[in-house]
Amino acid sequence: MAGRKGRARGELPARLVHGVSDRLGTTRFLHQNLRKAFPAHWSFLLGEIALYSFVILVITGIFLTLFFKPSGMPVVYDGSYAALRGLSMSEAYASTLHISFDVRGGLLMRQIHHWGAIIFLAAITIHLLRIFFTGAFRKPREINWLIGVTLFVLALAEGFAGYSLPDDLLSGTGLRIMEGVVLSIPVAGTYLAMWVFGGQFPASEDFLPRLFTVHILLVPGLLIALITAHLMILWHQTHTIWPGKGRRERTVSGEPTFPHFAAQSTAYFLFTFGVLAGLGAFAQVNPVWLYGPYEPDQISTGSQPDWYVGFLEGSLRIMAPLETNLFGHTIPWNVLVPAVVLPGVFFTLIAMYPFAERWATGDERLHHLLDRPRNAATRTAIGAAAVAWYGNLWAAGGNDVIAYIFGIPLFWTTWFFRAGFVAAPVLAFLVTRRICLSLQRRDLRARREGVESGLISLTPEGGFRERHEQPSDEEAALLRTRRPAELVAPYPNHLIPLPTPDRARTQVRTRVNRFYMNYQAESYGGGQGDLSRDPRDGGPRQEDDGG
């Protein structure tokens, strides 16, 4: 009887699992997806840092929500921090001090949350750069690229909203700048500012509850929806993979989802949480008690925003003081251009780049193999130029701090970064493309002459020469390059070259194509794996020096 009861107890979970699977098809779904291949290369884990940081942000944010009071009502502080006791402040700032000094573990959670936001933005940035420089945005992944750029913009807005909630002097200064940016919009600026702030700035009694709702509900909801869509598309389309021996466009190799990738991801999440917990415990960030409550007539000397909005600060600082009075309206170009037009154009160009490259190259093929950045010299140079341009603006955001530390006039630093706004991206583009071409030629030389072995031999003439050896098959697969001649657009050949619009468009597209493709080489299989085979596999091969 005991054995029958034991079997009955053991059969019940099995019958339950079978019943659920019979109705929902879970067994078939798990069987198909648990063996899905994931690349083992470390660069594919950069996006996971962003995902895990977001999860930690949600967890710590829920904790902070239980104690934070998003209210601008004035109160007199009587908490544990003696330096501010008896001072009038908003209820939001007082509750932030309460979390920091009176709630058990509150300061640790605040700091983990803040560090999580910084790492979240940094991980998204590095992940986007990895995708850009390796060409992972190409067909069929353009939609996921657009989702990624949108996630980046939303993450910027979410970070700024959270940074502004404590209503301290530093965050209030950032909100004052935001109000000026909104007011710079012609005609509609005044109405938008009144709508956003619920009245005349600071209007914290109405604005802080709105900002809190945006921070904990609206933007996180959009982020969760887009992250879910991003992962679903990624799962459907599979990962990209680095070129190598035997790798082709139609196959993706790697480790199975279970147990390898699942165990690796679990450990990686715990590692990310441990790093953020360590930063929260030992690295102070955003000590709002040192800044004091926000007062419109006060500002902190040397105040700097978080790194991810530093480029906007820099663009405002180096812009010339220009404005226009037109039909009774003042258009402040010194705010409108650097803080509204410039970031709008910047993020639009980032989002549209995959389509611009496809138009320039005419490449309509599916790509699952990545490019080595050196083998896409023009794209890599464009990316380096964008990084240099962004870095120049980011450094310009601290021009006053740089001038103070090095003891130089502030106007010198301002003009230096103004010149760098144009010169830095141009110089970065030229230098990076030449470096890529040099690396391509070095790969070709290693392919033809072999690689250094470190072995010195005596020649019959009595000299010494280092022996070169043929690279391994895996190294040879990376060293082999080819120029995709089928993507090079021919110059138009008209019998009567009339200046028609169609001819002008063709001429422009041809020149853009040549500008791009003349410096473009693809590694063996990098976008061409199914079209060209190595002679050792029984097929033709073309090689070029990429220059």
Is residue 377 a part of any domain in this protein?
no
Query: Domain check: are 342 and 462 in the same one?
Result: no
Is residue 389 a part of any domain in this protein?
no
Is residue 152 a part of any domain in this protein?
yes
Query: Domain check: are 486 and 360 in the same one?
Result: no
Q: How many domains does the chain have?
A: 2
Is residue 350 a part of any domain in this protein?
yes
Whole-prediction pTM: 0.85
Does the pLDDT at position 530 exceed 50?
no
Please state the φ and ψ torsions of residue 251, each to the nearest 5 degrees: -125, 145
Which residues lie across from 329 on neighbouring strands? 326
Query: Domain check: are 154 and 284 in the same one?
Result: yes
Measured CA distances, 31 to 17, 28, 234, 262 (Å): 14, 5, 18, 15
Of 315, 348, 371, which marks where a domain is finished?
371
Of 371, 399, 420, which marks where a domain is finished?
371
Query: Domain check: are 270 and 140 in the same one?
Result: yes
Measured CA distances, 381 to 328, 398, 441, 442, 520 (Å): 45, 26, 17, 18, 11
Three-class SS of 120-135 = HHHHHHHHHHHHHHHC
Percent of the chain scored above 70 by pLDDT?
Answer: 80
Residue 13 is predicted with a pLDDT of: 73
Query: Domain check: are 241 and 349 in the same one?
Result: yes
Query: Domain check: are 216 and 334 in the same one?
Result: yes
Does the pLDDT at position 311 exceed 90?
yes
User: Measured between alpha carbons, how far is 209 from 72 in angstroms, rounded to an integer?
Assistant: 8
Residue 532 is predicted with a pLDDT of: 38
The CATH number covering residue 120 comes to: 1.20.810.10
Q: Looking at mean pLDDT, say which of 234-248, 267-281, 314-328, 489-503 comes out highest.
A: 267-281
Which range of residues forms the domain containing residue 510?
Answer: 444-522
157 pLDDT band, cuts 50/70/90, is very high
Query: Domain check: are 240 and 126 in the same one?
Result: yes
Is residue 99 a part of any domain in this protein?
yes
Query: Domain check: are 360 and 503 in the same one?
Result: no
Residue 526 is predicted with a pLDDT of: 35
pLDDT higher for 26 or 187? 187
Query: Domain check: are 367 and 449 in the same one?
Result: no
Q: Which long-range contacts (CB under 8 A, 24 or more apart) does 449-455 make?
A: 451/475
Residue 154 is predicted with a pLDDT of: 97
252 pLDDT band, cuts 50/70/90, is low
Is residue 50 a part of any domain in this protein?
yes
Of 356, 371, 386, which marks where a domain is finished?
371
User: Measured between alpha carbons, how far is 374 from 192 in angstroms, rounded to an integer?
Assistant: 46
351 pLDDT band, cuts 50/70/90, is very high
Is residue 462 a part of any domain in this protein?
yes
Summarize pLDDT for 264-294 with one digit per residue, the tens: 888 989 999 999 999 999 999 999 999 999 8
| DSSP secondary structure letters along 396-453 | HTTHHHHHHHHT--HHHHHHHHHHHHHHHHHHHHHHHHHHHHHHHHHHHHHHHH-EEE
Query: Domain check: are 218 and 338 in the same one?
Result: yes
Locate 490 and state its tokens: 């021919």
User: Measured between alpha carbons, how far is 84 from 533 in angstroms, rounded to an integer?
Assistant: 73
User: Measured between alpha carbons, how far is 368 from 237 in angstroms, rounded to an integer?
Assistant: 9
Is residue 85 a part of any domain in this protein?
yes
423 pLDDT band, cuts 50/70/90, is very high
Task: Identify each DSSP E strand in 229-373 by its residue range.
Answer: 255-256, 324-326, 329-331
* Beta strands at 324-326 and 255-256: parallel, antiparallel or unpaired: unpaired
Residue 448 is predicted with a pLDDT of: 76
Summarize pLDDT for 498-519 with one digit per residue, the tens: 566 677 777 888 888 878 877 6
Closest CA to 183 of 331, 317, 366, 41: 331
Does the pLDDT at position 235 exceed 90?
no
Residue 473 is predicted with a pLDDT of: 67
